[in-house]
Amino acid sequence: MASTFYSQISANKRDSFLLGLGLVAILGVLGLTIGYALTGSVSGAIGATVFAIVIGLAASMVSYYKGDAIVLAASGAREITETEAPQLFNVIRELTIAADIPPPKVYVIDDTSMNAFATGRDPQHASIAVTTGLLTRMDREEVQGVIGHELSHVRNFDIRFALLVGVMVGSIALLADFFLRFTFWGGRGRSSSSDRGGGGLQAIIFAVALVLAVLAPFFAKLVQLAVSRQREYLADASAVELTRNPIGLERALATIAGDTEVLEVANRATQHLYFTNPIMKASDGGGEPSAWFSTHPPLLDRINRLRELRGQPPVGSTAEELAAPRGDALG
């Protein structure tokens, strides 16, 4: 049975929430085991968990208020006015009205590749950046699909959600790194604790904590990537809700799938923010070498989900996709 964008939105919100809970569970288990391994007491285990959370909150505050400025500067984005891109501003205005959010600040990245991203902590403090390649090489309907996707990230608070998940993953890595360094430089002396009561249990927990300290950051990163992919699906479905036109977004994805240019200013710290992964250019229509390690779903998968919304059969490659005539590109 064909799905609707409402059912896709509900499913993706649920999946993202469950993945977020998974990260909380990883952080909690890691904190508890490390705390008990080092202190041999429940209170010490709880204290270690609280310490990790406090560090994460401190990092969150910095990122919350300064993260967007850092990302925009690192991306080489410059703010523009409506006189420089009137049709782009017209698209943004009509979609923000549909989304019932304030218009974001608009930035442009001088690069011939086709991409865009949204940043900010909430709809009242949001910015959208688009590349000059996207403005000159896509028609209005395609740009409308891309902007609808990015504004959906703003309306759905995806940027804030991604921030919290990123900080949580960072907290897990920080806690694991601290424990491994402590074990390497001074942890061997902890074996004498086995002479005390409960030392046998503590030794077992210590071994478990070592294993978790090695594996937890890896699995936390996988969960973060899965969260990112779910939010991309959600933004695609939400964009259809705003534009009432899955074809524009579908064609935009197909157009980018055939683009071989790489966004020069992108890096692994910012790649998850973009409309499509600016680093991993797929040769088979969006299928990354390993979807597990990608920040975005395969482009072909995103296209076929959009086709499902309008009752069309899936395609096997983007070469088969969208022979409809294209309009004028935005200036």
Q: Which residues pair with 79 in a beta bridge?
A: 107
The DSSP code sequence of 305-316 is HHHHHTTPPP-S
Q: Which residues pair with 131 in a beta bridge?
A: 109
Residue with tokens 């709809």: 123
Q: How many other CB atoms are there within 10 angstroms of residue 258's CB atom?
A: 13
Q: Choose among 25, 27, 166: nearest CA to 35.
A: 27
pLDDT per residue as tens digits for the range 112-163: 999 999 998 888 999 999 999 999 999 999 999 999 999 999 998 887 777 6
pLDDT of residue 219: 77
Contact 272, 232 (CB under 8 A): no
| Segment (H or E) for 120 | strand 116-120
C-alpha dist (Å) from residue 174 to 46, 63, 70, 122, 178: 17, 16, 21, 27, 6
Q: Determine phi and psi for 319, rounding to 5 degrees.
A: -65, -25
What are the residue boundaries of the structural domains of the chain, listed by start? 5-66+167-217
Paired sense of beta strands 116-120 and 77-79, if any? unpaired
CA–CA separation, 53 vs 167, rounded Å? 10
Q: Determine phi and psi for 41, rounding to 5 degrees.
A: -140, 155
Indicate the pTM of the whole model: 0.75
CA–CA separation, 290 vs 294, rounded Å? 7
CA–CA separation, 36 vs 27, rounded Å? 14
Would you write out the chain's pLDDT as a tens digit for each of its 331 residues?
455 556 656 665 676 667 667 767 777 777 778 888 877 787 877 887 777 667 666 766 777 788 788 889 989 999 999 999 999 999 999 999 999 999 999 999 999 999 999 998 888 999 999 999 999 999 999 999 999 999 999 998 887 777 667 667 777 777 788 778 777 776 544 444 444 445 677 778 778 778 878 887 787 778 778 778 888 998 998 999 999 999 999 999 999 988 878 888 887 778 888 999 887 654 344 444 456 677 888 888 999 999 888 888 888 765 444 444 555 556 5
Q: How many other CB atoms are there within 10 angstroms of residue 27's CB atom?
A: 21
User: Any idea which residues carry the catalytic annotation?
Assistant: 150
C-alpha dist (Å) from residue 79 to 83, 105, 128, 130, 142: 12, 7, 9, 10, 22
